[in-house]
Amino acid sequence: MEHIKKINPLLLITILIFHTSCDTISPERHCKSFHFGNFFTETSVNGITYKSTFSRNNSNIQIEEFEGKIDSSYVRWVNDCEMILSPINPKNMSEKKNIFIKILTTNDSSYTYEYSYLGQSKKLKAKAIKIE
């Protein structure tokens, strides 16, 4: 056992800190480039795929076409990567619920996001692709 060298405690702590910090590094996101524009999104819920198109303009309104229906929502950005959609003309109580959206990752032409009704813990994920 005499051949085992002592490890410098400071070096050991530095290695541990570096190792744990690498696991928590978040990918770089460029969310502001997706605040406005036209988008296509596809999401799967209980094995059923839903597709829609939507556009956000600079007056903080999002207009979405889904299954032949057009809905409009107010967009309130909480920060660069999180927003709350509030339906403009809900027809019933279930349509009145606000939706929280968090952009998780971005690339040049799309972003992945998670969404849920505001205050609910169950979150779904989807991808939005910017179209011109």
Residue 29: pLDDT over 90? no
- 31, pLDDT greater than 80: yes
Residues above pLDDT 90, as percent of the chain = 53
Domains of the chain: 31-131 (2.40.128.120)
The pLDDT-based confidence of 38 (bands split at 50, 70, 90) is very high
User: Is pTM beyond 0.95 here?
Assistant: no
**How close are the terminal C-alpha atoms of the chain, in Å?**
69
**Region 68-78 average pLDDT:** 93
> How high is the pLDDT of residue 26?
60
Please name which of 110, 108, 116 lies closest in space to residue 85, comparing C-alpha atoms: 116
